[in-house]
Structure 1
Amino acid sequence: MTPVLPEFDPPTRVLKRAQYEAFAFELLDGDVRVRNESYTDPDVHEYRVRIQDGVPESCSCPADASGDDPCKHRVAVAIRPRILELAVQMRVVTDGGSSLSGDDGTTDLPCECEPLSEDLPCWNCVDAGRRDLSE
């Protein structure tokens, strides 16, 4: 995945805060919930970052709505490519597609068993270990 930070061009103070604050991330149907654990009351510092076309497009925080620059929550997601990649994959699955990437980072080919008889799995499933020829 191509890093999105250059197109953001965040101010230095926002970039630094996105790097050092204690953010916790949770995937939500292709978006990311960003919770700032740096505060004593992190529940009120929890925002949803909307991912669109692989880019943290908007955030529900007041700072994102009030300025032209991206907020620290959007930048925090943008500088963590694995979080962004997982959100994009989740969006594909949520929208009815299927993820081609396994937990170990390998790429599995999609299942083609449906048009075959129930007794014979497709090669993609056998090769990926999802089905056995003896089933």
Structure 2
Amino acid sequence: MIPVLPEFDPPTRVLKRAQYEAFAFELLDGDVRVRNESYTDPDVHEYRVRIQDGVPESCSCPADASGNGPCKHRVAVAIRPRILELAVKMRVVADGGSTSCGDDDTADLPCECEQLSEALPCWNCIDAGRRKLSE
């Protein structure tokens, strides 16, 4: 289970669209620009998702402003732990802090390992020294 998703409790329709639509992500000072490449005019379907405390808090799209739960852009970011992790790290750096993969304060960041077997952790954790590849 994705750590942020239970907080959102998105409708099935929104979750499915967040999974299958062709989103492109760009990091912006700790936030994420989400561009929906599924449309013929993706420039018109580009929104900024604000990340606060590791959670996609708001989106600049009209659907998010309606207040009927999280929009597909926020859910699309929430179901991609690596995007969230990078956005959080970028915010720390943008706010004047520093971070590296081995810091204790990054140990609780979302990780793809939760979705993999113990024998095959994600590359990010192996690279950071948090996990070892089983032989």
TM-score (norm 2): 0.75
Instruction: Decide which structure has greater helix share.
Output: 2
Measured on the aligned residues, the alpha-carbon RMSD in Å equals: 1.6
Which consecutive segments of 4 or more residues in structure 1 shift more than 3 A? 102-105
CA distance in 2 between partners of 1:19 and 1:3 (Å): 16
In structure 2, C-alpha distance between the alignment counterparts of 1:56 and 1:66, rounded to whole Å: 16
The one-letter code of the counterpart of 1:61 is C
User: Which position in structure 1 is the counterpart of 2:8?
Assistant: 8
Counterpart residue number, 1:65: 65
- 5+ residue gaps, structure 1: 108-135
CA distance in 2, matches of 1:21, 1:68: 20
2: distance between equivalents of 1:28 and 1:98?
Answer: 17
Structure 2: which 5+ residue stretches go unaligned?
A: 103-122, 130-135
Map 1:19-58; keep pairs closer than 5 Å: 19-58=19-58
Matching residue's letter, 1:50: R
The residue type equivalent to 2:12 in the other structure is T
Residue 35 of structure 1: how far off its partner (Å): 0.1
Report the equivalent of 2:118: none
Q: CA offsets per residue over residues 3-47 of structure 1, 9 Å max, x none? A: 100110000000000000000000000000000000000000000
Aligned residue pair count: 106
Matched, 1:81 2:94: no
Q: Which residue of 2 aligns with 1:106?
A: 128
The CA distance in 2 between the partners of 1:101 and 1:25, in whole Å, is 21
Larger radius of gyration between Structure 1 and Structure 2: 1
In structure 1, give the amino acid aligned to 2:64: D
Shift of 1:100: 1.5
2:72 & 2:80 partners in 1: Cα distance? 12
